[in-house]
C-alpha cells in the first residue's frame, strides 16, 4: 500500500529556546533566559484563580466573551473586533490559513519572529525577506519587496529577536506606502515594556483601520505562557471569517479566567515594567564592561553582539551553560555571533551578573 501524499515541508521547523542542559553533570537549578517569558511570573490575582476549584467537565465559552469584554474595556476598543487564540501563534496560523494560497507572497523582515515565515510557508505562500538596517526594520526595504502577488506584511514592534523598533511615524508611513489591499500585521507582543515617546503600539495607531491586523499575547508581561493565550484585533469582516475557521474551543477555560484577572492587575504590570527597566539598564552596562554590546533598551530581552568581545557568542554560551544558565542562540534566526538574553527575576539576574564576571576573570 502506498499512502496518499502529504505536503512537502521544505523549510526549517521552529525550535524553541533551550530549556535543559543535558551535558550538565551536577544537579543544579537551570536558569532559563532564552524564551522572553515574564521575569516575575503572573499576578497574584491569577494565582488566586489557579487555587480555586475550577470545574473542567464542561467545554469553555468558545467565543471568550468575558475576556473580549475585559480587553475592550482596558484598551478602549470594540469587543466584536477581538478574537482570542491559543497563543497569538494560533492567530498567526489562522491569518495565514485565511489569506494565503499557493503562489501568494508574504513579506517579513529578515530577522523576525519565525512563526510568520513558518505558517506562511505551510499555507503554500512564498516568503520574501526584507533587509534590515543595523538590525532595524527598514520601511524602504519592505516597500522594495512588494509586488502584484504580495498579500501580507508581518512585523513585530518591538521586533524579536533584534529588540529594535519602528517609531510611530515610521509605522504610519509604512501603511501609507503599502498598497491598500495588502494586509499589514503588527505584532504588539512586547509593547507594554516600551517607554520611548516616539513609540506607539499597533493597536493605538490603527484601531480603526481595515487593512491592519494587530496581535497581542498574554505570554510575555502577563506571565501566562504555559496557558497559551493571545488575541488578535482587526476589521469585523476579518474577525468574522477567522471565527468561521477557528477550532471551536481553542482557548481553554482556565486561560480565559486567568487572562481576565491578569488584565485587571495594573499594579503587577507596573511593577514588571519597572523591574524590566531597572535590570535591562544594569545588565546592559555590565555587559559593556566586557565589550558585549546590545540594542537600545526596549522589550524584556537584549540582543547581545560579541563582535567586539574577546569571547565568541558560542564560547560564552557554552561557559554559561556549564554554570546552568541558558541564553538563546541566534543562528536559527540567521544572526551570527550574537545571543539573546531575557531579563530574569532578581536572583536570576544577580547570578547571571556574577557568573559573567567570573567568566571574564579567567579569559
Ligand atoms: C513577536 C512574538 N510574537 C508572538 C509570540 C508568541 O506568542 P504566544 O505565546 O502568544 O503564541 C512571540 C513569542 O516569543 C513573539 O516573540
The string of pLDDT tens digits covering residues 184-230 is 999 999 999 999 999 999 999 999 999 999 999 999 999 999 999 99
For 334, the grid coordinates are 540567521
- How far apart, in whole angstroms, are the C-alpha atoms of residue 166 and residue 155? 10
What are the chain's domains? 31-42+267-361 (3.90.1150.10), 44-264 (3.40.640.10)
**pLDDT classification of 23: cutoffs 50, 70, 90:** confident
With the most atoms of ligand 1 within 8 angstroms of its CB, the residue from 86, 88, 222 to mutate is 88
Mean pLDDT of 75-102: 98
What is the CA(189)–ligand 1 centre distance, in A?
6
- 219 C-beta closer than 6 A to ligand 1: yes
- List all residues 6 or more positions away from 223 whose beta carbon is below 8 Å from its beta carbon: 37, 38, 40, 41, 42, 43, 46, 262
- 225 C-beta closer than 6 A to ligand 1: yes
- How far apart, in whole angstroms, are the C-alpha atoms of residue 255 and residue 218? 9
pLDDT at 29: 85
Three-class secondary structure of residue 137 per DSSP: strand
pLDDT at 188: 98
C-alpha gyration radius of the chain: 21
- 100 C-beta closer than 6 A to ligand 1: no
- 156 C-beta closer than 6 A to ligand 1: yes
Mean pLDDT of 36-50: 97
- 224 C-beta closer than 6 A to ligand 1: no
pLDDT at 94: 98
Task: Kindly report the number of other CB atoms within 10 A of residue 293's CB atom.
Answer: 16
Closest CA to 104 of 147, 154, 155, 156: 147
CB–CB of 4/108 below 8 Å? no
For ligand 1, atom 2, which residue shows the shortest CA distance?
Answer: 189
Three-class secondary structure of residue 139 per DSSP: helix
**pLDDT classification of 24: cutoffs 50, 70, 90:** confident
Sign of CA dihedral 107, 109, 110, 114: negative
Three-class secondary structure of residue 185 per DSSP: strand
pLDDT at 25 over 80: no
pLDDT at 224: 98
- List all residues 6 or more positions away from 263 whose beta carbon is below 8 Å from its beta carbon: 70, 71, 74, 222
What is the CA(312)–ligand 1 centre distance, in A?
28
Closest CA to 200 of 180, 171, 176: 171
- 49 C-beta closer than 6 A to ligand 1: no
pLDDT at 20: 83
- List all residues 6 or more positions away from 57 whose beta carbon is below 8 Å from its beta carbon: none
Percent of the chain with pLDDT over 90: 92
pLDDT at 189: 98
pLDDT at 134 over 90: yes
What is the CA(217)–ligand 1 centre distance, in A?
7
- 230 C-beta closer than 6 A to ligand 1: yes
Q: How do residues 148-184 score in pLDDT, each as one tens digit?
A: 999 999 999 999 999 999 999 999 999 999 999 999 9
Helix (H) or strand (E) holding 219: none
In this prediction the pTM is: 0.96
- List all residues 6 or more positions away from 94 whose beta carbon is below 8 Å from its beta carbon: 83, 85, 242, 245, 246
CB–CB of 112/131 below 8 Å? no
What is the CA(88)–ligand 1 centre distance, in A?
6
- How far apart, in whole angstroms, are the C-alpha atoms of residue 262 and residue 249? 21
Q: How do residues 220-264 score in pLDDT, each as one tens digit?
A: 999 999 999 999 999 999 999 999 999 999 999 999 999 999 999
Q: How do residues 268-308 score in pLDDT, each as one tens digit?
A: 999 999 999 999 999 999 999 999 999 999 999 999 999 99
With the most atoms of ligand 1 within 8 angstroms of its CB, the residue from 113, 188, 218 to mutate is 113
Helix (H) or strand (E) holding 213: strand 212-217
Percent of the chain with pLDDT over 70: 100
Quote the mean pLDDT of the chain: 96
Amino acid at each position: 500500500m502506498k499512502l496518499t501524499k502529504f505536503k512537502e515541508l521544505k523549510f526549517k521547523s521552529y525550535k524553541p529556546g533551550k530549556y535543559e542542559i543535558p551535558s550538565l553533570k551536577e544537579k543544579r537549578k537551570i536558569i532559563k533566559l532564552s524564551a522572553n517569558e515574564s521575569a516575575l511570573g503572573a499576578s497574584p490575582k491569577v494565582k488566586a484563580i489557579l487555587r480555586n476549584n475550577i470545574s473542567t467537565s464542561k467545554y469553555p465559552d468558545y467565543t471568550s466573551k468575558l475576556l473580549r469584554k475585559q480587553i475592550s474595556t482596558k484598551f478602549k476598543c470594540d469587543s466584536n473586533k477581538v478574537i482570542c487564540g491559543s497563543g497569538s501563534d494560533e492567530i498567526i496560523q489562522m491569518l495565514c490559513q485565511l489569506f494565503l494560497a499557493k503562489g501568494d507572497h508574504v513579506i517579513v523582515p529578515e530577522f523576525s519572529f519565525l512563526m510568520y515565515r513558518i505558517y506562511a510557508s505551510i499555507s503554500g505562500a512564498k516568503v520574501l525577506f526584507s533587509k534590515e538596517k543595523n538590525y532595524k526594520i527598514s520601511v524602504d526595504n519592505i516597500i522594495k519587496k512588494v509586488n502584484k502577488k504580495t498579500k501580507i506584511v508581518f512585523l513585530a514592534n518591538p521586533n524579536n529577536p533584534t529588540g529594535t523598533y519602528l517609531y510611530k511615524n515610521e509605522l504610519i508611513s509604512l501603511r501609507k506606502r503599502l498598497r491598500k489591499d495588502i494586509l499589514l500585521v503588527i505584532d504588539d507582543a512586547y509593547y507594554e515594556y516600551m517607554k520611548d515617546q516616539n513609540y506607539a503600539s499597533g493597536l493605538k495607531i490603527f484601531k480603526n483601520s481595515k487593512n491592519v491586523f494587530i496581535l497581542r499575547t498574554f505570554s510575555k508581561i502577563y506571565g501566562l505562557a504555559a496557558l497559551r493565550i493571545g488575541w488578535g484585533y482587526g476589521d469585523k469582516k476579518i474577525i468574522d471569517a477567522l471565527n468561521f475557521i477557528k477550532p471551536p474551543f481553542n482557548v481553554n477555560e482556565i486561560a480565559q479566567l486567568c487572562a481576565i484577572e491578569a488584565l485587571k492587575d495594573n499594579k503587577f504590570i507596573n511593577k514588571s515594567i519597572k523591574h524590566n527597566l531597572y535590570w535591562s539598564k544594569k545588565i546592559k552596562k555590565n555587559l559593556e564592561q566586557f565589550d558585549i554590546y546590545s540594542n537600545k533598551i526596549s522589550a524584556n530581552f537584549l540582543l547581545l553582539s560579541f563582535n567586539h568581545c574577546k569571547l565568541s557568542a558560542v564560547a560564552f554560551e557554552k561557559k554559561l551553560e556549564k554554570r546552568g544558565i541558558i541564553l538563546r542562540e541566534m543562528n536559527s534566526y540567521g544572526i551570527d555571533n550574537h545571543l539573546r538574553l531575557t531579563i530574569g527575576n532578581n536572583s536570576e539576574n544577580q547570578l547571571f551578573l556574577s557568573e559573567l564576571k567570573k567568566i571574564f576573570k579567567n579569559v
